[in-house]
Structure 1
Amino acid sequence: MPSPTPQPDYVLVRPQMGENIGAAARAMWNFGLDRMRLVAPRDGWPNPAADAMASGAGRLLDEAQVYPSTAEAVADADFVLATTARPRGLTKPVYSPEAALAETAERTARGERVAVLFGPERAGLENADIALANGIVSVPVNPEFPSLNLAQCVLLTAYEWRRATAEVTPRATALAGTDWANQAEVAALARHYEERMDAAGFFFPEHKAEGMKLNLRNLWSRMPLTRSDVQTLHGILRQMVRWKDRGG
């Protein structure tokens, strides 16, 4: 059963290969979309090749709704977007994928039903299909090679849907079972190194020693150290001292 989360219907118009339908289902489910509609699939439905390619997203294929025409597939939609890479000579708003799925998110949140059309692999949507849409989604591809695989286009728009509806952290650090070192831990590490380096005669000549120590403390404070890093650096220094004391 489709998830209750408000979301668009992804409508694959006259898809030609079962493998691409399965790959599209997988791409949809990667980003939390599970409402697939099929318009007159060339090889009939169901299609074993689609099941093999769906790889864990078979539920979408089982629940996919099949329609004989694009008009019937979008009859209950309040807003329809058509994906195409080529100029069509039709006067319509043209959206980037980011803007299109942001608008889709706003409309579905208001309770509207939105359908996104994807054309067959060989030539994409026909003008008769696009004429049913309220707007066009145009992907900024290489103009010398504008053709996108069906599943790639589904994946691209599904990703933009996810960006529009979920909090996406632009950058994070995986701490691998540790935490960031606090100021006291970094300060203790700095003192340990300063003491050992002082004993080794590093801070020379004497009139420059304080400036050298200040630079070293500043170096430690700039470094994003974890507690594991601090423990490792303490251990390295202790082992070097032991090695020296053993006459290494």
Structure 2
Amino acid sequence: MAQVCDSQPAIVLVRPQLGENIGMAARAMLNFGLTDMRLVSPRDGWPNPSAGPAASGADVVLDKAAVFDRVEDAIADCHLVFATTMRGRDMPKPVMTPREAARRMRSALTDGQKPAILFGPERSGLTNDDVTLVDSVLSVPVNPDFGSLNLAQTVVVTAYEYAQSYDATPSVRPAHEDGLAPKEDLIGLMQHLEDELAARGFFRSEDRYGAQRRMLRNLLQSGSFSAQEVRTFRGIVKALTRPERGSENDRF
């Protein structure tokens, strides 16, 4: 789970145009534990009344946002700076994915260095002068025939990759919070079912008994049952094999 951390990259929005987009960017940041927002010459000034509603509760990001007149001032305390852009640049800058940039930012933070990511204005993006100030270009690998991402989308992709670079959440979580049933319980269910089926003539051919038994066990094994599910299954078997009320067996 992403958590707010004091040691984190700065998200620098360069000349953002709409308060709504600043708010949505703040929301995307806080989703992944980032709170260091820096604004460079926001078109409509700051604070912007449209940003709060769009942030959907990410007020801590907006309240802490620092405003600068120049990109140079916004990144003055940073050591490693990336520029997000899709346009080709005639500059000797390495181009990398958000995932690789995230890995490098984590490494920089470990070394006590401050990284930052520049995001350009919604309509035109970063200028060449902006890009000359960065170390690397960060490019999201999108559909080459439709590479348009809005500001908040770009922020959320890069913030997600940064969070993934240190997140300890397992790739797959089990369906059951209490985990799988121990083999002792599962084998008990297998034996219970086999005994009841044998008593009712299910295994009619001695030649096929082994194959049928293995198939039943594999079916139960593939169910990935929890301990509670095993107990429920055994209860079902008991209910199905219990003599019915009012049957001839009950009368004698």
TM-score after normalising by structure 1: 0.92
1:32-47 alignment, distance < 5 Å: 32-47=33-48
C-alpha RMSD over aligned residues: 1.7
Match of 1:213 in 2: 213
Matches within 5 A, 1:123-138: 123-138=124-139
Distance 1:210 1:168, change over 3 A: closer
Deviates more, 1:235-244 or 1:186-195: 235-244
Aligned to 1:157: 158
Task: State the partner residue of 1:202.
Answer: 202
| Structure 1 match to 2:67 | 66
Query: Shift of residue 34 of structure 1?
Result: 0.7
Query: What is the letter of the counterpart of residue 22 of structure 1?
Result: G
Tell me the CA shift for residue 217 of structure 1. Answer: 2.8
Counterparts in 2 of 1:119 and 1:200: CA distance versus 1, 3 Å: same
Q: Aligned residue pairs: how many?
A: 244
User: Does 2:83 correspond to 1:82?
Assistant: yes
Q: Corresponding residue for 1:92? A: 93
Once residues 221 and 147 of structure 2 are traced to their aligned partners in structure 1, the CA distance between those partners, rounded to angstroms, is: 50
One-letter code of the match for 1:53?
A: A
Q: CA–CA distance in 1 between the matches of 2:167 and 2:180?
A: 27
Q: CA offsets per residue over residues 72-128 of structure 1, 9 Å max, x none?
A: 211221111000011122220111110011101100111111111001111211111
C-alpha contact (below 8 Å) 2:29/2:35 kept by paired residues: yes
Structure 1 residues not aligned, in runs of 5+: none
Give per-residue Cα distances to partners, 1:145-189, cap 9 Å, x unaligned.
11111011111000111111222311111415x442111111111
Corresponding residue number in structure 1 for 2:250: none
Counterpart for residue 15 of structure 1: 16
CA distance in structure 1 between the aligned counterparts of 2:184 and 2:169, rounded to whole angstroms: 32
Deviation at 1:6, TM superposition (A): 1.2
2 CA distance for matches of 1:40 and 1:102? 29
Runs of at least 4 residues off by over 3 Å = 242-247
Deviation string, structure 1 residues 172-207 (Cα, Å, up to 9, x no partner) = 11415x442111111111111111111111101233
> What secondary structure sits across from 1:180 in the alignment?
coil
Closer, same or farther: CA 243–28 of 1 in aligned 2, 3 Å = farther
SS of 2:118 mapped into structure 1: strand
Number of the residue aligned with 1:173: 174
Mapped to 2, the partners of 1:197 and 1:82 lie a distance apart of 68
Partner of 1:101: 102
User: Under a length normalisation based on structure 2, what TM-score does the superposition of the two structures give?
Assistant: 0.91
Q: CA 1:14–1:242 in structure 2 vs 1: closer, same or farther (change >3 Å)?
A: same
Q: Quote the sequence identity (%).
A: 44
